[in-house]
Amino acid sequence: MNEMLRLAKAGLDDLIAVLRQEGYRVFGPVARDGGVTFDEVNATSDLPVGMRDAQEPGCYRLVGGTPGEIFGVVNGAGSLKPFFFAPEEPLLEVKRVGKSFTVNEVAPPARRLAILGARACDLAAIAVQDRIFLHDRFRDTHYAARRKDTFIIAVNCAHAASTCFCLSMKTGPQATSGFDLALTEMDEAFVVQIGSAAGEAIIAKLALDAASGDEVADARARIEECATQMRRHLDTSDLPRLLYDEAENSRWDEVAKRCLSCTNCTMVCPTCFCHTIVDQEEIDGNMSRRVRKWDSCFSLEHAHIHGINFRPKIQNRYRQWLTHKLASWIDQFGTSGCVGCGRCITWCPVGIDLTEEVAALRATAGQR
């Protein structure tokens, strides 16, 4: 399993074809509406070949890249989260039966899913969500059903967006676990690493040669180059204590003047798990679905009970989000809630950068 294989660029179509023959629907990054989104792909030509992404706080552009480069785009707004933690899904069906009612669990649609192009940070985010939905006191059976038997092909990053900081969060740029296969793209070919028995079974059908020592070295050099490109850093040392101690720092008031409380950061975050469950009644009144929808700690209702809103101000809500993400998440789940993907920075309409906010809190520690 430790042997590295060589997959010619043209062979990616064969890999997609084999997965489809095995009954998988293959999803990968697809250029759409000026960004990339995960959608079904039938061939390499569906992927954003020859494109790159230019990301800055509050800004995202697809631009021309290296011709023939298949995985030049680092990421888009959508992570892998929606595949497993659906943005909206029915959990229960409540049917009126005479004066009583029955309740049945609504099973998620059965599917064999293969994801092509999962980045290291997003794989780390899946591990974080697994910890919450599968390995806490209560197991979320809907998440479990969607998560089961997914085939994951990781792509190691050769470029870093300006908003990336996975090095600080120790999640990338190389995928180290949570994949069946991992690809590193070079000029002519991929170096393929096998991560599971399922991955080995699929790749065996392509009868690949071993990668040469030079190719393995080339692949490694590209990942290392990506790491050196990374401009953003988050100093995580003693972070929970810093955020707890600085709960009344005046920086929260300052950031609240810029934050629109729009919820974008929580929607693009690959680990945010807040959700609400609402009843959606059929028009005849005989059936109601309990539907789960993503929710956000930036919404006014999030901490609201009759007559009291526990987090009425934007500074309360931004502090909740950042403190949860980087501090209390660790107390709750033994891991940070941040994987360093940078999406919250890019997709914030006013370009609030959490790495900058943490640095500001550090610099002004003790300031009330």
Partner 1 sequence: MSAAVATPYMIHPARVVARRTETEGIYTFTLQFVDPELRRSYAFRAGQFNMLYAPGVGEVAISIVSDPTEPQLIEHTIRIVGRVTGVMARWKVGDIVGVRGPYGNGWPVEEAHGRDVVIITGGVGCAPTVGVINYIFRRREQYGELHILHGVKTPNDLLYRERFDEWRRAPRTKVYLTSDRPDKSWHYRIGVVTELFDELDVPSSSIVMMCGPEVMMRMAARSLLGKGIADDSIYLSMERRMECAVGLCGHCQWRQSFVCKDGPVFSYREARELFRVSGI
Return the residue of 37, 176, 236, 328 that touches partner 1, per CB under 8 A: 328
In sequence order, what E strands does the chain have? 5-8, 25-32, 35-40, 51-56, 59-64, 88-97, 100-105, 113-118, 151-155, 181-185, 189-194, 209-210, 275-281, 287-294, 304-305, 308-309
Going residue by residue from 102 to 141, which x/- string records binding to partner 1, judged by CB under 8 A?
Answer: xx-x-x------------------------xx--xxxxxx
- Residue 105 sits at φ, ψ, to 5 deg, of -75, 135
Q: What is d(CA 347, CA 270) in angstroms, rounded to the nearest whole number?
A: 13
Stretch that binds partner 1, among 1-9, 87-95, 229-237, 356-364 (CB under 8 A): 87-95
Structure tokens of 200? 């080995």
Whole-number Cα distances in Å, 76 to 38, 235, 326: 9, 25, 22
Q: Does 306 bind partner 1 (CB under 8 A)?
A: yes
Q: Does 254 bind partner 1 (CB under 8 A)?
A: no
Q: Does 273 bind partner 1 (CB under 8 A)?
A: yes
Return the residue of 260, 276, 350, 367 that touches partner 1, per CB under 8 A: 276
Q: Does 241 bind partner 1 (CB under 8 A)?
A: no
Q: Does 300 bind partner 1 (CB under 8 A)?
A: no
- How many Cα neighbours within 13 Å face the side chain of 210? 6
Structure tokens of 2? 């430790």
Return the residue of 96, 205, 220, 258 that touches partner 1, per CB under 8 A: 96
Taking the complex as a whole, how short is the minimal distance between the CB of residue 303 and partner 1, in angstroms? 6
User: Rg (Cα) of the chain, in Å, rounded?
Assistant: 22
* Residue number, 39 or 279, with CB nearest to partner 1: 279
Q: What is d(CA 250, CA 6) in angstroms, rounded to the nearest whole number?
A: 55
Residues that bind partner 1 (CB under 8 A): 91-92, 94, 96, 99-103, 105, 107, 132-133, 136-142, 144-145, 244, 247-248, 273-279, 281, 285, 288, 290, 295, 297, 302-308, 310-313, 315-316, 319-320, 323-324, 328, 331-332
